[in-house]
Amino acid sequence: MLSVTPIPAFDDNYIWLLRQDTSSEICVVDPGDAAPVIELIEREGLTLGTVLITHHHPDHTGGLPELIARYAPRVIGPDNPKIAGIDERVGDGDEIRVMGRLFEVHEVPGHTLDHIAFFTAGIPPLLFCGDTLFSAGCGRLFEGTPEQMHASLTRLAALPDDTLVFAAHEYTLANLRFALAADPHNPEVTRAMEECQRTRDLYRPTLPSTLAREKRINPFLRAGDAAVRHAASSQGNTDSEEATFATLRAWKDHF
């Protein structure tokens, strides 16, 4: 069995740890900080086999130099020369075998232009989407356009409904506060808010989510919904689904 658990880092990052219960070899996704990863490896006698990187931001790559120096793992990430230490640069449609599973690479520009996501079919399907899709939200547009982000999210949303969504930040509660404004009559959002508040009160992660759940509660996957469009119309252009998405993203930036 492949298990996926979070290593909390900084204020609200999760470094996802993949582990087969029969092996001491692990894979980590987006190690922004080496210290908590090293601590775990040393404490449990693990071997760092692979590192996956979704995009170039320091809170996702900052731990790489030290992990490479100590453990020399295989490092797979975007085709961006700005990220030092990647030995397999991958892009759209590439397939890689990690921890016994075949992962597909999806280019998902928007948050950054180099952003990629890793998806593996299976039971259950797993998606490591970095700062592209969050529970009840999506990444800010630092480099890409709203059109690019909308296309990237639409693509992720087309993956199987039971896909577990491993986003890189614990932003769910703040995102749900925005969702209450952007999708005000959606009882699923209200329910998710209560549920996630209880989860956070216990200091537990609200992740992973599932794509089915995100399609019900995430306003950024619901720009085509009449109620979301109506709420967004008080903030800007909602002439098309893409325009509504752009309006939602701009609204959230100053919410």
CB of 121 to Fe ion, least distance (A): 26
The per-residue DSSP string of 91-138 comes to -TT-EEEETTEEEEEEE--SSSSS-EEEEE-SSS-EEEEETTEETTEE
Q: Distance between CA atoms of 217 and 215, rounded to whole angstroms?
A: 6
- Nearer to Zn ion by Cβ, of 113 and 227: the residue is 113
Which spans of this chain sit near Fe ion (rule: CB under 5 A)? 59, 131
Q: Which residue has the tokens 């593996």?
A: 120
242 binds, among Fe ion, Zn ion, none (CB under 5 to 8 A by kind): none
CB of 131 to Zn ion, least distance (A): 4
| Closer residue to Fe ion, CB minimum distance, 13 or 120 | 13
d(CA 88, CA 199): 37
In whole angstroms, the minimum distance from the beta carbon of 142 to Zn ion comes to 7
Give me the active site residues, please. Answer: 55, 57, 59-60, 111, 131, 169
Nearest residue (beta carbon) to Zn ion: 57
* Residue 134 in tokens: 């969050």
Residue 33 or 131 with smaller CB distance to Zn ion: 131
In the bound state with Fe ion, the residue whose beta carbon lies nearer, of 12 and 87, is 12
Angle made by CA atoms 210, 252, 207, in degrees to the nearest 5? 25
Which of Zn ion, Fe ion, none is residue 114 near (CB under 5 to 8 Å by kind)?
A: none
Q: What's the rounded Cα separation, in Å, for the pair 164 and 6?
A: 13
> What is d(CA 235, CA 249) in angstroms, rounded to the nearest whole number?
11
Report the residue number, 57 or 106, with the smaller CB distance to Fe ion.
57
Tokens of 232: 């967004």
Name which of Fe ion, Zn ion, none residue 107 binds, using a CB cut-off of 5 to 8 Å depending on partner kind.
none
> In the complex, which residues of this chain contact Zn ion (CB under 5 A)?
57, 131
User: From the CB of 219, what's the least distance to Fe ion, in Å?
Assistant: 20
* Closest separation in Å from C-beta 60 to Fe ion: 6
* The 164-167 sheet, strands edge to edge: 95-98, 101-107, 116-120, 126-130, 164-167, 209-210
